[in-house]
Amino acid sequence: MPVHNSDVAEIFNKVADLLDIEGANQFRVRAYRNAARTVSGLPQSVSDMVKDGQGLSKLPGVGKDLAGKIREIVETGTLKQLKEIEDRTSSELSELMKVEGLGPKRVKALYENLKITNLKELKELLRKNKHYIVTYGTW
């Protein structure tokens, strides 16, 4: 099954989100987000570029390391690093990011400050404390 640019961008964005939740270096997180934007905006397929042996590291925001990760995704359909991060991070925390208005920083704050680890706990918190709905600063 061919890997599309959107697949690579989605994997890079997920890596960035999970690294952000972990509190990783913001330059590293930003590098993944920038590479995701670059790949998603390319007029040509990264799969074709890999097949043709084109230099992915010459793309804006994509260095040697990220070029290798793109190649890995194209060749295997997945990224080993993503699996490793997912293994360290609760999958339920990444599920929380699907809630509108919750990004990695808010999910991290919910986890660290209120020990919220899943959607059920968040719903219970909101049911009991309706002021959390409008007052993000209390997290």
Q: What is the pLDDT of residues 41-90, one digit of tens each?
A: 999 999 999 999 888 988 998 999 999 999 999 999 999 999 999 888 87
Q: Which band of pLDDT confidence, cut at 50, 70 and 90, is reported for residue 133?
A: low
Q: Is the pLDDT of residue 139 over 50?
A: no
Q: How far apart are CA 17 and CA 120, in angstroms?
A: 21
DSSP code of residue 137 = G
| CB hemisphere CA count around 74 (13 angstroms) | 19
Residue pointed to by tokens 């991290």: 108
Domain 5-88, CATH? 1.10.150.110
* Predicted confidence (pLDDT) at residue 135 exceeds the cutoff of 90: no
What residue spans define the domains of the chain? Answer: 5-88, 91-138
DSSP type of residue 99: S
Q: What is the separation of C-alpha 87 from the centre of its chain, rounded to a whole number of angstroms?
A: 14
CA distance 25 to 27: 6
Residues whose CB falls within 8 Å of the CB of residue 82, separated by 6 or more in sequence, listed in order? 11, 14, 15, 18
Does residue 31 or residue 136 have the better pLDDT? 31
Model pTM above 0.85: no
Backbone angles phi, psi at 62, to 5 degrees: -120, 110
Is 69 in contact with 79 (CB distance < 8 Å)? Answer: yes
Tell me which DSSP letter residue 82 carries. Answer: H
